[in-house]
A and B are shown apart, each in its own frame.
Chain A
């Protein structure tokens, strides 16, 4: 049976007409174009339906909240709803769009020169140039400030050395936004895939986010021209600014994953007969459904308010941390309960809850782990830093 999104508090009434049209359009795209393909890609470890990229671009999914350069210039409610709908499909689909939009187009748009913007953004909006974001390293994830990748200035170029790991879309990217130490603090570089000394390799064996490509980037004496350095920012606030964009999208995306699981559990439990009565007529399953619906509704309200704050320019980054931390945790719990209610059927790929559940383990870890957001909020509330570094 077809998906019906939970909207218990009539959030729809709070949305503008164009936000609703955007949401419905993306929902239909996910239903018709993506969902028929997802299981095949999940079965193949780490692959994405690349044939959808031109269609995603035609729809305008890449950089949809940026202005100019062929981008749609949506407000943050509509942008959030897009992430919600994409992640209702699969976290891998939302990741593809998040990385391209929030982690690659956004830094060029925000920290880049006009020449860099003109050179890269139109092609990225059109899906002709794919980007990846290289921050994490084998030994530095939550603490990226310790990164070992380094760029040395030599004449009018930079010599880049280092390894980046867990990089979404690394092997299918035309450019990588690579963050590296310099004498002047951490800086961002646009590394083009055919630069000598640059190599991307796929990582295999993931249980989670299987409909997404995850790679390792190796840089050995890669010569990057000065014109490929992002001059607008120095220090960790560069990559963190990008992550803030993507985390905002994840807070919405998690709602989509949770809605998919809730709807599956609701429909299944109404049809599944246990002792001649529907599973949904029993108290314990009902309690699970009620908990799911309540938590999804709370998460929706959190995001709607967050979007308004972002549009008004009143957003502080710990507010995004709260929504990312809460909503992903919420979605993971919803997915686990939904999987549980489906019994044995819940462990096969005819049903989506377990796929979302294992995906959400990645979502809980990347873009700042659940615990790191807790520490960010703890520091914000108390003024005391508990990171221990």
Chain B
């Protein structure tokens, strides 16, 4: 069994962020592995613990992302692939999927796992796009995965709390929901051992692609935090006065 886990390094959930152009100011903030992806990794490691499996983790990102890969190796993944070129800054989902597909195509993975979406960009696109590029059956938002006899049985949560159970033949790609399992910590010993595990760094041409083939089609115009308080009016006075003013406003606006 050979499993690929795609993971992304995103700003730490507690980092205090400043918008800057189309993205955030990355200077001096901390990063972590996208929460959704940690569940995908844990699921892969559980499959490995239960039997024989090689777990490969891959990411697309600059130097800082090696920390995410080493953390994954410290948790128990076997090897890592880091793909980067400065031209990829701000890449859209299809570009990311193309790069991952190129890295995965000669490896014949039995299973590709990744998060349903990333905590920072919230697109939910990379998984399905990667599956299409690799020609793999896929499903999204897994709450439970069971493998047997060359197939994966996946439980998915639908709107309104109902569950759907789908079967996919292996090889396939599954994106996972948070809460699918309980994610382990990297052990300190594991972190030390991770230093000796292979981490391959690849550029665009190492994947047999060229800049034109992976040029992004989507560009972000701007990123901003809507200003607070617009359209709000603060009524002042005693409780009675405020209530009277409020009734006046409601009538004035014809809300009743």
Q: How many residues in A have their beta carbons less than 8 Å from beta carbons of B?
A: 27
Residues of chain A within 8 A (CB-CB) of B28 are 7, 10
Contact between A61 and B188 (Cβ–Cβ < 8 Å)?
yes
Kindly identify, within residues 142 to 161 of chain B, every residue whose CB is under 8 Å from any CB belonging to chain A.
none
Given known contacts A29-B185, A74-B188, what 17 new A-B pairs fall within 8 Å (CB)? A2-B13, A3-B14, A4-B16, A10-B28, A20-B67, A21-B70, A21-B71, A22-B191, A24-B30, A24-B71, A25-B74, A25-B188, A64-B188, A72-B187, A72-B188, A78-B188, A82-B188
Q: Which residue of B lies closest to A61 (CB)?
A: B188
Contact between B70 and A72 (Cβ–Cβ < 8 Å)?
no
User: Which residues of A line the B interface, CB within 8 A?
Assistant: 1-4, 7, 10, 17-18, 20-22, 24-25, 28-29, 58-61, 64, 70-74, 78, 82
Q: How many residues in B have their beta carbons less than 8 Å from beta carbons of A?
A: 22
Residues of chain A within 8 A (CB-CB) of B30 are 24
Partner of B14, one of A4, A20, A60, A82: A4
Partner of B187, one of A1, A28, A59: A59
Docked CA distance A302–B229 (Å) = 46
Nearest 7 pairs of A and B residues by beta carbon:
A60-B188, A2-B14, A72-B188, A72-B189, A60-B187, A60-B189, A25-B186
Residues of chain B within 8 A (CB-CB) of A7 are 28
Residues of chain B within 8 A (CB-CB) of A25 are 71, 74, 185-186, 188, 191
Partner of B70, one of A17, A58, A60, A82: A17
| Contact digits for B60-95, partner A, Cβ 8 Å, 1 yes 0 no | 000000110011001000000000000000000000
Q: Which residue of A lies closest to B192 (CB)?
A: A72
User: Which residues of B line the A interface, CB within 8 A?
Assistant: 13-16, 28, 30, 32, 66-67, 70-71, 74, 185-192, 194-195
Contact between A18 and B14 (Cβ–Cβ < 8 Å)?
no
Docked CA distance A71–B189 (Å) = 7
Given the known interface contacts A18-B70, A21-B67, A25-B71, the answer about A58 and B192 at a Cβ–Cβ threshold of 8 Å is no
Contact between B187 and A18 (Cβ–Cβ < 8 Å)?
no
Q: Which residue of B lies closest to A79 (CB)?
A: B188
Residues of chain A within 8 A (CB-CB) of B70 are 17-18, 21
Q: What are 10 residue pairs bridging A and B, where the CB atoms are less than 8 Å apart in the complex? A: A17-B66, A18-B194, A18-B195, A21-B74, A21-B194, A28-B185, A29-B185, A60-B190, A72-B192, A73-B189
Docked CA distance A3–B16 (Å) = 11
Contact between B13 and A21 (Cβ–Cβ < 8 Å)?
no
CB distance from A9 to the nearest CB of B (A): 11
Q: Which residue of B lies closest to A64 (CB)?
A: B188
Residues of chain A within 8 A (CB-CB) of B15 are 4
Docked CA distance A25–B33 (Å) = 12
Docked CA distance A18–B32 (Å) = 14
Docked CA distance A132–B36 (Å) = 41
Q: Which residue of A lies closest to B74 (CB)?
A: A21
Given the known interface contacts A18-B70, A29-B185, the answer about A24 and B32 at a Cβ–Cβ threshold of 8 Å is yes
Q: Which residue of B lies closest to A72 (CB)?
A: B188
Docked CA distance A221–B70 (Å) = 53
CB distance from A34 to the nearest CB of B (A): 12
Contact between B14 and A22 (Cβ–Cβ < 8 Å)?
no
Docked CA distance A61–B194 (Å) = 17
Contact between B185 and A18 (Cβ–Cβ < 8 Å)?
no
